[in-house]
């Protein structure tokens, strides 16, 4: 049964392929699938390519005549363009992708500005000036098995982009002639963003092109660095904009967020970034005696005070809970104190102690209450235990008294 079906399927497949080949002879694939090295291009490979799937052929990009089975297929007369050099790639791809009238026939929603954007990027500008090492379309997209970005196997799928860029940007030898670092990929792999994107599958976390753009690839200038982060971290950005650091950093030529958090290797923030210890970011610039130093110490004290207070409440409620007391209401309230703590850590970006204190105070008000409720629950438990103990004593007393009484009656009889 199974054998018959699969034989049938193979038969249908052979017929289909034969018919397709009879209609559209493609000598290019026939001949090139038998060649080796860079000349090796197979039917299976090209069938994965979006261009093949949309009905384009080898000749759409290379010219030539696929109906000829010998070398004349690649003759000048047949329109064959010869080898496509790296320098010619953007222009070739752009010849269709910059043509809205042509592209609309296939996919009206596809943008047609990739080539013009590319020309504004560092890659495009250097390429136009004759640099052949910068990225061209095929470095990022591949060739002959080129897939749309939404396909998880595409080189430009969000989960694969960092690796695609790293092929050049993490290769110190390849990049040796340029005066830029090659640690972006290594740093990025340690970052909160990589963890969110790759380990937790959170596609809202940024990869290289989210921050740098894909076709207009250029690092944001110092002025726009804060803007990159602010597209996602809106609250921190608003507070930073209104803080004393906004003007102070700008006049010192420093970027915003990146000055404290770095750009590629952003690690998970902690309260240790505040305060006056060696781990503090504030003491990079502020010294004992100035207002920033004092604010850094204050904020850390406030925040760790609330955290300790939440832990204390949590502990007493757990104690009450494990002795069977009902504390679900204070537990819910304690969650609000945790929210206040989260908010305080965002409010840090005002870089002023009193707004942080306001958040912390509203949290402390809750923890004072929940701790009281925990104490109340324990008192109630103790009260019930004492009550239980006393009734036990009373029962024992009655039982003993009864026995004595019965013994007395027996003696009397
Ligand atoms: C009969 C076999 C055969 C056919 C048919 C054929 N090719 Fe080739 N092709 C070759 C060989 C062999 C080479 C390498 C030698 C050379 O450059 O001539 C080559 C080279 C190429 C190159 C690289 C050019 C270079 O200078 O490095 C491209 C591109 C190419 N073929 C595309 C095509 C396309 C498109 C078609 C169909 C229109 C096609 N070929 C048909 C055999 C073939
Ligand atoms: C969407 C455009 C496009 C299509 C369709 C296409 N190619 Fe290519 N091909 C290119 C580009 C661009 C290059 C140059 C690759 C590079 O340098 O990045 C290339 C390179 C080649 C080479 C030369 C490899 C070398 O380095 O010398 C051969 C051979 C080739 N293609 C054959 C084919 C065959 C056969 C088909 C059809 C099965 C095909 N191509 C379809 C764009 C295309
Ligand atoms: C002969 C015209 C033509 C050439 C040359 C061409 N393309 Fe395309 N490309 C198309 C068409 C048509 C589609 C299908 C659009 C659709 O239906 O989504 C497409 C699709 C794509 C897609 C997928 C778009 C998506 O997300 O749906 C990418 C990426 C792409 N091409 C990149 C390239 C690159 C890189 C080159 C140069 C190596 C290139 N193209 C050369 C016509 C062309
Ligand atoms: C530095 C890497 C890089 C280079 C160079 C590059 N692309 Fe892209 N391209 C991307 C990325 C990343 C995406 C995916 C964007 C997304 O996720 O929507 C993309 C998407 C596309 C798409 C799909 C539609 C769209 O705009 O989202 C097309 C078509 C395309 N590129 C064509 C080109 C062409 C043509 C060139 C050369 C002129 C080129 N690309 C050069 C990285 C690159
Ligand atoms: C084929 C190799 C290659 C690939 C792939 C590549 N790049 Fe580049 N890139 C270069 C080279 C070479 C430069 C030029 C360096 C310079 O001018 O200092 C460059 C420059 C840049 C710059 C500007 C750096 C500066 O000088 O300030 C940025 C940003 C950049 N690339 C980002 C990316 C991103 C993001 C990707 C992946 C989507 C990528 N590149 C993929 C080779 C590549
Ligand atoms: C969260 C945003 C973000 C992500 C993700 C990101 N970058 Fe950057 N990148 C920046 C910023 C901001 C700068 C500017 C440097 C500065 O002013 O400190 C920069 C600078 C660069 C530069 C210029 C040289 C340098 O190191 O200063 C290159 C090249 C670069 N990035 C490549 C990459 C690559 C490759 C990836 C992915 C592995 C990547 N970036 C991921 C924000 C990002
Ligand atoms: C495309 C959106 C996006 C951009 C742009 C972006 N981030 Fe993020 N960021 C995220 C996401 C998503 C997370 C993961 C949040 C989580 O842990 O649930 C995150 C996490 C963080 C964290 C850790 C937060 C925590 O509570 O653990 C910091 C710090 C951070 N980003 C700073 C930055 C900085 C600085 C920039 C600019 C250089 C930036 N981000 C750019 C989306 C973005
Ligand atoms: C002057 C230094 C400094 C600057 C500038 C700065 N931050 Fe922060 N950021 C911190 C400190 C310190 C913390 C840790 C607060 C804590 O956990 O107690 C933090 C924490 C964070 C967090 C995690 C907040 C949380 O909920 O735990 C994010 C996200 C973040 N910053 C994003 C940004 C963004 C976006 C910018 C730019 C608009 C920025 N930061 C600018 C010092 C800074
Ligand atoms: C890159 C250097 C740098 C870092 C890091 C930095 N500051 Fe500042 N800060 C400045 C400069 C410059 C000013 C403006 C000049 C001044 O008043 O000292 C300033 C001003 C302040 C002010 C206002 C002082 C006043 O007189 O009104 C406070 C408060 C402050 N910073 C707190 C902090 C805290 C808290 C941190 C750590 C989370 C921090 N700063 C990290 C450079 C920095």
**Structure confidence by residue, pLDDT tens digits, 290-331:** 999 999 999 999 999 999 999 999 999 999 999 888 989 999
Nearest CA to ligand 5 atom 42: 134
Q: Tell whether 140 and 50 lie within a shared domain.
A: yes
Q: How many residues are recorded in the chain?
A: 413
**Among 149, 157, 204, which residue has the most ligand 4 atoms within 8 Å of its CB, making it the best to mutate?**
149
Kindly report the CA angle at 217 between 215 and 220, in degrees rounded to 5?
Answer: 135
Backbone angles phi, psi at 267, to 5 degrees: -100, 170
How many CB atoms within 10 Å of residue 101?
7
Closest ligand 2 atom to 40 CA: 29
What is the residue-averaged pLDDT of the chain? 91
Question: Domain span at residue 99?
Answer: 41-62+89-157
Q: Tell whether 379 and 297 lie within a shared domain.
A: yes
Determine contact, residues 69/30, Cβ cutoff 8 Å.
yes
Closest ligand 9 atom to 284 CA: 5
Scanning 242-351, the segments in alpha helix (DSSP H) are: 244-251, 257-261, 291-322, 328-347
pLDDT over 50 at 255, yes or no: yes
Q: Tell whether 255 and 148 lie within a shared domain.
A: no
Q: Tell whether 56 and 135 lie within a shared domain.
A: yes
Q: In this predicted model, what pLDDT tens digit does every residue of 96-127 receive, in sequence order?
A: 999 999 999 999 999 999 999 999 999 999 99
Determine contact, residues 213/241, Cβ cutoff 8 Å.
no
Task: Lowest mean pLDDT of 3-7, 39-43, 99-103, 403-407, name the range.
Answer: 3-7
- Choosing from 131, 157, 183, the residue where a domain stops is 157
Determine contact, residues 352/295, Cβ cutoff 8 Å.
yes
State the total domains in the chain: 3
Residue-by-residue DSSP string for 337-390: HHHHHHHHHHHGGG--HHHHHHHHHHHHHHHHHHHHHHHHHHHHHHHHHHHHHH
Is residue 162 one of the residues assigned to a domain? no
> So what's the pLDDT on residue 227?
77
Task: Give the Å distance between the CA of 232 and the centre of ligand 7.
Answer: 7
Q: Tell whether 247 and 322 lie within a shared domain.
A: no
| Rounded Cα distance, 269 and 285, in Å | 18
Burial (CB count within 10 angstroms: exposed 0-12, middle 13-18, buried 19+), residue 348:
buried
Is residue 110 one of the residues assigned to a domain? yes
Determine contact, residues 366/337, Cβ cutoff 8 Å.
yes
Determine contact, residues 351/282, Cβ cutoff 8 Å.
no
Determine contact, residues 316/378, Cβ cutoff 8 Å.
yes
How many CB atoms within 10 Å of residue 111?
11
Is residue 122 one of the residues assigned to a domain? yes
Is residue 18 one of the residues assigned to a domain? no
- Comparing C-alpha atoms, which of 371, 382, 236 is closest to residue 316? 371
Is residue 338 one of the residues assigned to a domain? yes
- List all residues whose CB is within 6 A of at least one atom of ligand 3: 50-51, 54, 56, 60-61, 89, 92-93, 95-97, 106-107, 110, 137-138, 141, 143, 146, 148-149
- Choosing from 157, 179, 199, the residue where a domain stops is 157
Task: Give the Å distance between the CA of 10 and the centre of ligand 3.
Answer: 31
Determine contact, residues 134/123, Cβ cutoff 8 Å.
yes
**Among 25, 56, 61, which residue has the most ligand 2 atoms within 8 Å of its CB, making it the best to mutate?**
61
- Choosing from 157, 192, 209, the residue where a domain stops is 157
Is residue 286 one of the residues assigned to a domain? no
Closest ligand 5 atom to 209 CA: 35
% of the chain residues with pLDDT over 90: 83
- Comparing C-alpha atoms, which of 65, 88, 67 is closest to residue 77? 65
Nearest CA to ligand 1 atom 19: 39
- Structure-model confidence comparison of residues 22 and 64, the more confident one: 64
- List all residues whose CB is within 6 A of at least one atom of ligand 9: 244-245, 248, 254, 259-260, 274, 281-282, 284-286, 290-292, 295-296, 299, 351-352
Residues 6+ apart with CB under 8 A from 252: none
| Rounded Cα distance, 184 and 188, in Å | 6
Task: Give the Å distance between the CA of 256 and the centre of ligand 6.
Answer: 14
Is residue 22 one of the residues assigned to a domain? no
Q: Tell whether 58 and 136 lie within a shared domain.
A: yes
Nearest CA to ligand 6 atom 37: 208
> So what's the pLDDT on residue 224?
64
């Amino acid at each position: 049964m199974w054998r018959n079906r699969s034989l049938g399927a193979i038969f249908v497949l052979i017929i289909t392929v034969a018919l397709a080949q009879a209609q559209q002879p493609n000598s290019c694939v026939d001949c090139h699938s038998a060649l080796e090295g860079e000349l090796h291009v197979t039917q299976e490979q090209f069938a994965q390519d979006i261009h093949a799937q949309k009905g384009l052929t080898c000749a759409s990009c290379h010219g030539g005549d696929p109906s000829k089975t010998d070398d004349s297929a690649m003759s000048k007369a047949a329109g064959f363009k010869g080898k496509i050099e790296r320098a010619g790639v953007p222009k070739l791809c752009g010849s269709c992708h910059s043509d809205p009238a042509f592209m609309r026939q296939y996919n009206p929603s596809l943008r047609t500005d990739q080539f013009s954007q590319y020309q504004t990027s560092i890659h495009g500008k250097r390429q136009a000036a004759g640099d052949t090492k910068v990225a061209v379309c095929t470095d990022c997209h591949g060739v002959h098995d080129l897939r749309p970005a939404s396909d998880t196997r595409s080189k430009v799928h969000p989960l694969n982009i960092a690796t695609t860029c790293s092929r050049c940007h993490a290769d110190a030898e390849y990049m040796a002639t340029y005066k830029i670092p090659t640690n972006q990929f290594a740093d990025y792999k340690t970052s909160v963003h990589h963890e969110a994107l790759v380990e937790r599958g959170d596609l809202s976390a940024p990869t290289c092109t989210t921050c740098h753009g894909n076709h207009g690839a250029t690092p944001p200038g110092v002025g726009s660095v804060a803007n990159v982060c602010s597209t996602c971290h809106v609250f921190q950005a608003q507070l930073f904009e209104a803080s004393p650091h906004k003007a102070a950093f700008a006049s010192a030529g420093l970027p915003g967020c990146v000055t404290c958090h770095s750009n590629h290797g952003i690690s998970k923030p902690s309260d240790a970034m505040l305060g006056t210890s060696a781990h503090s970011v504030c003491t990079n610039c502020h010294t004992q005696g100035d207002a920033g130093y004092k604010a850094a110490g204050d904020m850390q004290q406030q925040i760790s005070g609330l955290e300790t207070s939440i832990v204390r409440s949590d502990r007493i409620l757990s104690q009450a809970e494990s002795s069977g007391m009902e504390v679900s209401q204070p537990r819910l309230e304690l969650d609000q104190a945790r929210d206040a703590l989260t908010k305080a850590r965002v409010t840090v970006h005002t870089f002023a102690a009193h707004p942080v204190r306001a958040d912390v105070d509203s949290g402390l008000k809750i923890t004072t209450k929940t701790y009281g409720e925990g104490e109340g629950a324990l008192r109630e438990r103790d009260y019930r235990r004492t009550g239980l103990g006393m009734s036990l004593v009373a029962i024992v007393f009655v039982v003993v008294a009864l026995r004595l009484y019965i013994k007395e009656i027996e003696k009397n009889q």
